[in-house]
């Protein structure tokens, strides 16, 4: 098999027409292997692969030992394995799945070293299995099992994808599927539904959630996964994972085999890649009898249709035929334990003659049961399991109606529970081996996509690893009709076996295989020399601390061709705080400072505006750099803008002011503050300029901002102006009436004032003659005094009484 193009640039490809024809003929005649490739790129799952809850199964057709380098996607070597035909190698990654720092990956951000980069000295197949189940205790936070992904190899690499999942809606009313995209070369722009969202370098990934049918486009070849991380087995929510095939390798015919799951788990979703896609669905019983036929039209590209595949019986089947390319995602389950499968299309040019893998095991390496099915187009070709005719021990081959497709199913028990599983036939097969039972469900589908022709050759060779002013792409002669594609889209009128271009992008060409099917080749990146540049200005060169400035960054393409993978890095230095940003093209992420632009056409420019607050201290030089996949001039890739902030003006000094009412409605209290030129405002921020007065009884808060004539203080000092209402009360005196009497005073309950009112004296009875002053004081300190005078008591009355005494008998006295 061929080496992956990303590791074999065009300059290493022999340009001899005879040799190229021979290579191509060999490739299309030897497409008998189940996803055996020398290079595998695998995008991340929501969980981390690098723990003992994940198991890697490597198999090969080679009868001599194959060396396999297992690396993280950033190139860090994990281990070196050796594998030979008949003896798949199993590697359990190391480390605790619930260790600190091994939580689920963060979505909507660029992550590094999360995927896998596996290279081998000869073609191998790769199957990675999440065997965590519920054994790790980290279902909600670290890893949720179980799931299985079989790498598509070269067929999984592309530039345009329609993501999907086996069923519609949220999963268990909580979380949507998680999609991941991983770059395999630097400066790869990622578009999601037409918006450039991020820029990735080789080995970097981006995880996100979005609706099914979302279009993911990359400026250079990449790989994509679909997955879920739901801890709700009873709600048919588990850990699931599989690869998303690029649109280029999708087909028009699919067959789905029903497992032992319920109606929630055993569903299939069909994704349209073009508008007005007509689909026909045939349902077959477990004996192969046609049960029903329905048709649907999906109106929009990216639209989808979800249905329950098969009949109500286990091991029934469903066949989908469409008039345009479609993607198919299916759930296979036992009761509600489910895994997702990206179903490969079936065709006379697809399938495999030899499939090999290893038995399924749980987290504690216990054996797990499984069933398998074999789909082929022969009623008589022998199919062997580990060398024995499978039909002597398993189910009888049955045709699906009159379609020409035949199914054979088997269980692990029926084939003797072997450690190594080998399925072989002279007829092309699609083989599914689905682990079901023991609290687990993992789907491993082993079927070659229709073998892709090799990528076209490129001249000059520098157009693939450096750059050139133009390039000529050549496909093998004699395999027409041809159709050239740029970034997954048809190039109108490009129908010969050569194509000359001055446009940077990912190219492929459809050719006719010897089985009669036109198939799109693997993609190859062509780099036409470009010249991107960056300019940057700031609207205020000497801003006041605490105010906002606007940086205007202009990205330009000065080259003679388009530029792809364009991104700008402008992370604000410590002298500024991010406020907002705006751009008409791409996405700016303040936390990283990366502005992902995507593609710029010849002479096109685009602007980013960043509004930032000037901090009191820090670095004020703000740099911006630009990169692209095809830039040949680095002298104009840096631009800077520097401000010289003016010193911070201190907030003014002021205190609250309170006066007592003088009884008039026009009494005015005016605020005062010190510390430069003072401007008074109605609020602490924003607001309007006001006159700092309080007229009449009441309270008002005004805010003082100081200015040195150029800059103003960042903060405003509040001043509360209060004119307290007057206190009213009476003091009524009762004067002494008789000699020896005392006076008294009656104080009325005070009204007005603010808060609690107290009297300075409470002496109101037994008052001797004199002046008495009563002062009422409220909470604000305002007072009201009344003086009362108690008069002296009347003097004592003085008089005399003189008695005349009687002198004789019968006399009376007198006074």
219 with 315, same domain: the answer is: yes
Boundary of a domain, candidates 467, 497, 526: 526
Convert the pLDDT of each residue in 77-123 to its tens digit.
Answer: 999 999 999 999 999 999 999 999 999 999 999 999 999 999 999 99
Residue 29 lies in a domain: no
DSSP secondary structure code for residue 137 in this structure: S
CA angle at residue 322 from 317 to 323, to 5 degrees? 165
Beta strands at 717-724 and 657-660: parallel, antiparallel or unpaired: parallel
Residue 798 lies in a domain: no
Residue 208 lies in a domain: yes
For residue 541, the model assigns a pLDDT of: 96
For residue 445, the model assigns a pLDDT of: 74
Sign of CA dihedral 342, 346, 351, 357: positive
Task: Name the stretches of the chain with pLDDT < 50.
Answer: 1-32
479 with 609, same domain: the answer is: no
**Could you tell me the two tokens for 439?**
């609290």
Q: How many domains does the chain have?
A: 5
Boundary of a domain, candidates 505, 526, 547: 526
For residues 331 and 340, give the distance between their C-alpha atoms in angstroms, rounded to a whole number.
5
3-class DSSP assignment, residue 392: helix
139 with 230, same domain: the answer is: yes
Residue 30 lies in a domain: no
CA angle at residue 591 from 585 to 593, to 5 degrees? 50
CB 699 within 8 A of CB 725: no
109 with 250, same domain: the answer is: yes
Residue 129: count of CB within 10 angstroms of its CB? 27
CB 611 within 8 A of CB 548: yes
Is omega for the bond preceding 481 within 30 degrees of 0, making it cis? Answer: yes
Polymer length of the chain: 815
297 with 341, same domain: the answer is: yes
For residue 728, the model assigns a pLDDT of: 92
For residue 246, the model assigns a pLDDT of: 96
State the number of CA atoms in the 13 A half-sphere of 249 facing the CB: 29
CB 200 within 8 A of CB 136: no
252 with 160, same domain: the answer is: yes
For residue 103, the model assigns a pLDDT of: 94
CA angle at residue 610 from 606 to 615, to 5 degrees? 155
| Closest by Cα among 56, 155, 699, 633 to 361 | 56
For residues 465 and 199, give the distance between their C-alpha atoms in angstroms, rounded to a whole number.
19
222 with 89, same domain: the answer is: yes
HEC string of 754-809 equals: CCCCEECCCCCCCECCEEEEEEEECCCCCEEEEEEEECCCCCCCCCCCCCECCCCC
DSSP secondary structure code for residue 113 in this structure: S
570 with 666, same domain: the answer is: no
Is omega for the bond preceding 517 within 30 degrees of 0, making it cis? Answer: no
Integer angstrom CA distances of residue 384 from 219, 423, 513: 44, 6, 28
Question: In terms of residue numbers, what domain contains 698?
Answer: 653-724
713 with 611, same domain: the answer is: no
Boundary of a domain, candidates 483, 507, 526: 526
Residue 552 lies in a domain: yes
| Closest by Cα among 233, 772, 155, 209 to 508 | 155
| Closest by Cα among 114, 288, 72 to 206 | 114
Sign of CA dihedral 37, 40, 45, 51: positive
DSSP secondary structure code for residue 689 in this structure: B
DSSP calls for 364-382: T--B--EEEEEEES-SS--
For residues 157 and 161, give the distance between their C-alpha atoms in angstroms, rounded to a whole number.
10
Counting DSSP H helices and E strands in the chain, the numbers are: 2, 61
Residue 275: count of CB within 10 angstroms of its CB? 13
DSSP calls for 393-435: TSPPPEESTTSS-EEEEEETTTTT--SEEEEEEEEEEEEEEEE
Integer angstrom CA distances of residue 706 from 1, 318, 334, 648, 650: 77, 78, 73, 11, 7
Residue 1 lies in a domain: no
CATH number at residue 465: 2.60.40
CB 468 within 8 A of CB 501: no
For residues 6 and 526, give the distance between their C-alpha atoms in angstroms, rounded to a whole number.
12
For residue 134, the model assigns a pLDDT of: 72
For residues 717 and 705, give the distance between their C-alpha atoms in angstroms, rounded to a whole number.
7
Strand ranges in 438-593 using DSSP code E only, listed in sequence order: 440-446, 457-459, 471-474, 483-486, 489-490, 498-501, 505-512, 518-520, 524-526, 532-538, 548-557, 563-569, 576-583, 587-589
For residues 391 and 399, give the distance between their C-alpha atoms in angstroms, rounded to a whole number.
14
303 with 332, same domain: the answer is: yes
For residues 25 and 433, give the distance between their C-alpha atoms in angstroms, rounded to a whole number.
31
**Could you tell me the two tokens for 760?**
């300075």
State the number of CA atoms in the 13 A half-sphere of 708 facing the CB: 11
For residue 352, the model assigns a pLDDT of: 87
CATH number at residue 581: 2.60.40.1170
Residue 452 lies in a domain: no
519 with 536, same domain: the answer is: no
Residue 7 lies in a domain: no
**Could you tell me the two tokens for 749?**
């309950």
Convert the pLDDT of each residue in 125-171 to its tens digit.
Answer: 999 999 987 777 777 789 877 889 999 999 999 999 999 999 887 66
515 with 574, same domain: the answer is: no
């Amino acid at each position: 098999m061929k080496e992956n193009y990303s590791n074999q640039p065009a300059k290493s490809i022999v340009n001899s027409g005879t040799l190229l024809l021979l290579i191509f003929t060999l490739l299309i005649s030897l497409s008998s292997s189940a996803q055996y490739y020398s290079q595998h790129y695998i995008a991340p799952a929501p969980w981390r692969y690098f723990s003992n809850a994940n198991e890697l199964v490597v198999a090969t057709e080679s009868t001599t030992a194959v060396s396999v380098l297992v690396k993280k996607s950033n190139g860090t070597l994990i281990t070196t394995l050796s594998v030979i035909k008949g003896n798949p190698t199993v590697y359990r990654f190391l480390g605790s799945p619930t260790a600190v720092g091994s939580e689920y990956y963060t979505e909507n951000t660029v992550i590094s070293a999360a995927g896998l980069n596996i290279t081998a000295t000869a073609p191998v197949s790769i199957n990675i299995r999440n065997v965590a189940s519920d054994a790790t205790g980290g279902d909600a936070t670290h890893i949720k099992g179980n799931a299985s992904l079989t790498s598509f190899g070269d067929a999984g690499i592309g530039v345009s994808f329609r993501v999907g999942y086996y069923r519609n809606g949220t999963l268990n009313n909580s979380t949507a599927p998680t999609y991941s995209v991983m770059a395999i070369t630097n400066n790869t722009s990622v578009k999601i539904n037409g918006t450039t969202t991020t820029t990735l370098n080789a080995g970097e990934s981006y995880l996100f959630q979005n609706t099914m049918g979302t279009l993911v486009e990359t400026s250079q070849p990449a790989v994509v996964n679909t997955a879920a991380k739901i801890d709700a087995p009873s709600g048919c929510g588990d850990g699931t994972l599989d690869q998303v095939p690029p649109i280029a390798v999708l087909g028009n015919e699919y067959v789905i085999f029903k497992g032992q799951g319920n109606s929630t788990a055993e569903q299939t979703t069909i994704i349209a890649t073009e508008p007005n896609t007509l689909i026909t669905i045939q349902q077959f019983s477990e004996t192969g009898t046609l049960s029903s036929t329905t048709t649907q039209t999906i109106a929009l590209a990216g639209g989808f249709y979800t249905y329950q595949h098969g009949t109500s019986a286990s091991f029934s089947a469903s066949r989908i035929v469409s008039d345009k390319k479609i993607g198919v995602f299916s759930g296979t389950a036992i009761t509600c334990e489910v895994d997702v499968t990206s179903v490969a299309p079936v065709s006379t040019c697809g399938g495999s003659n030899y499939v090999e893998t290893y038995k399924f095991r749980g987290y504690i390496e216990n054996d797990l049961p499984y069933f398998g099915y074999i789909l082929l187009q022969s009623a008589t070709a022998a199919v062997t399991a580990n060398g024995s005719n499978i039909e002597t021990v398993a189910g009888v081959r049955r045709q699906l109606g009159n379609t020409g497709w035949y199914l054979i199913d088997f269980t692990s028990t029926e084939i003797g529970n072997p450690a190594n599983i080998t399925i072989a036939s002279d007829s092309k097969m699609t083989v599914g081996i689905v682990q079901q039972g023991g609290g687990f469900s993992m789907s491993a589908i082993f079927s070659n996509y229709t073998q892709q022709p090799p990528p076209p050759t490129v001249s000059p060779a520098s157009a693939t690893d450096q750059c050139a002013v133009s390039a000529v792409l050549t496909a093998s002669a004699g395999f027409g009709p041809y159709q050239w594609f740029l970034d997954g889209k048809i190039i109108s009128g490009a129908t010969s076996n050569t194509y000359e271009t001055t446009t940077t992008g990912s190219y492929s060409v459809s050719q006719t295989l010897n089985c009669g099917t036109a198939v799109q080749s693997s993609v190859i990146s062509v780099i036409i020399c470009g010249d991107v540049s960056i300019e940057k200005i700031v609207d205020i060169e000497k801003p006041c601390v605490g105010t906002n400035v606007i940086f205007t960054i202009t990205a330009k393409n000065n080259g003679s061709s388009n530029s792809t993978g364009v991104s700008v890095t402008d992370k604000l230095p410590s002298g500024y705080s991010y406020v907002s940003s705006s751009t008409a093209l791409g996405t700016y992420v303040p936390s990283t400072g990366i502005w992902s632009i995507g593609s710029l056409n010849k002479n096109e420019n685009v602007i980013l505006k960043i509004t930032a607050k000037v901090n009191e201290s820090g670095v004020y030089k703000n740099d911006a750099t630009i990169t692209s996949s095809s830039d040949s001039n680095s002298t104009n890739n840096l631009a800077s803008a520097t401000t010289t902030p003016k010193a911070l003006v201190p907030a003014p000094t002021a205190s609250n002011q309170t006066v007592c009412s003088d009884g008039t409605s026009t009494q005015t209290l005016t605020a005062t503050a010190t510390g430069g030129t003072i401007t008074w405002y109605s609020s602490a921020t924003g607001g309007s300029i006001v006159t700092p007065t309080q007229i009449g009884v009441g309270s008002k808060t005004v805010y003082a901002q100081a200015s040195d004539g150029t800059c103003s203080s960042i903060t405003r000092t509040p001043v509360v102006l209060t004119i307290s209402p007057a206190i009213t009360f009476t003091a009524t005196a009762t004067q002494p009436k008789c000699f020896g009497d005392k006076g008294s005073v009656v104080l009325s309950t005070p009204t007005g004032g603010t808060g609690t009112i107290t009297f300075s004296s409470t002496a109101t009875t037994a008052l001797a003659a004199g002046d008495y002053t009563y002062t009422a004081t409220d909470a604000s300190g305002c007072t009201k005094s009344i003086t009362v005078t108690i008069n002296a008591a009347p003097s004592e009355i003085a008089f005399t009484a003189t008695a005349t005494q009687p002198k004789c008998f019968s006399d009376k006295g007198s006074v």
